[in-house]
Amino acid sequence: MVLLPDLSLGQYSLVYNVISFTIATMGAAFLFFVFAQNRVAPRYRMSMLVSALVVAIAAYHYYRIFQSWQAAFMMDTTSGMYVASGQPFNDAYRYVDWLLTVPLLVVELVLVLALSRDLQAKMITKLTVAATLMIILGYPGEVASYIDTPTRAFWGTLSTIPFLYILYVLWKELGKALEQQPPRVRVLIRNARLLLLATWGFYPIVYMAPFFGIYGAESQMVFQVGYSISDILSKAGFGLLIYVTACAKSEADGWSQS
């Protein structure tokens, strides 16, 4: 179990507010993706539904993380610091969330392309298996104490292998499929892919905080705030780009809402 460091009022509140903000963002994104569905052609609605699922799952887990954060600390009036209450802070919610949402995010991206059934099934299988492996392999390193950098490095390296494979599939194989898409859609998908690279690439950097000499209260800040911001961009932000892509594809198909 990871020992919780003492936090100043500012540190405790920063994480508290960022998690609270994340719940609100995910909830709002859920409503948006549900209600915006009829603005795209029926064949792209499944992709929007998956976007909605992703942010709904995240909103739930952030709510649980929020509760766990509140329970894990208490104000020590003599020192004026937030100290461990004795109840553990459950970091597993985050990884359970990723285990569900990361495969769904790649499904979202592949679905909006409306590829041939065969190609679609192949891409989804490869990407979801790799995404699942990436998260499972990262977990033992995440829950290792931040002092135990060799364990973190070992699992982090293993987890990076499927991560690189995902990038390979998205650039190499999806790149080929992109050539058959209308020009505007090609640009949008390239942007979605870049957003995916930028936001997903941020997770391993946050994970490595202890390697940059960030320990204790600071590492707790970096993990919680860093992962929350990444989650907002990679789930709600990415879903928004998928929505814009679905609109462009609907238009290219000659579909109009009415």
Residue 134 sits in the site that holds ligand RET (CB under 6 A): yes
Binding-site member from 68, 132, 149, 160 for ligand RET (CB under 6 A) = 160
What is the token pair recorded at 227? 């992962």
Q: How many residues sit close enough to ligand RET to count as binding (CB under 6 A)? A: 18
Binding-site member from 27, 103, 156, 210 for ligand RET (CB under 6 A) = 156
Q: What is the DSSP letter of 113?
A: T
CA distances from 230 to 5, 29, 179 (A): 23, 15, 29
Q: Shortest Cβ contact with ligand RET: which residue?
A: 138
**CA–CA gap between residue 157 and residue 241 (Å, rounded):** 30
CA dihedral 219, 220, 226, 230 (to 10 degrees): 130
Binding-site member from 11, 231, 232, 243 for ligand RET (CB under 6 A) = 231
The answer to whether the CB of 186 falls within 8 A of the CB of 178 is yes
Mark 85-124 with x for binding to ligand RET (rule: CB under 6 A) and - for no binding. -------------x--xx--x-------------------
CB closer to ligand RET, 32 vs 200: 200
The answer to whether the CB of 247 falls within 8 A of the CB of 40 is yes
CB closer to ligand RET, 119 vs 136: 136
CB closer to ligand RET, 12 vs 227: 227
Mark 161-190 with x for binding to ligand RET (rule: CB under 6 A) and - for no binding. --x---------------------------
Question: What residues contact 252, with CB distance under 8 A and at least 6 apart?
Answer: 182, 184, 185
Residue 210 sits in the site that holds ligand RET (CB under 6 A): no
Residue 200 sits in the site that holds ligand RET (CB under 6 A): yes
**CA–CA gap between residue 102 and residue 56 (Å, rounded):** 13
Residue 159 sits in the site that holds ligand RET (CB under 6 A): yes
CB closer to ligand RET, 44 vs 62: 62
CA distances from 41 to 37, 145, 206 (A): 8, 49, 38
Residue 224 sits in the site that holds ligand RET (CB under 6 A): no
Residues near ligand RET, by CB under 6 A: 98, 101-102, 105, 134-135, 138, 156, 159-160, 163, 200, 203-204, 207, 231, 234-235
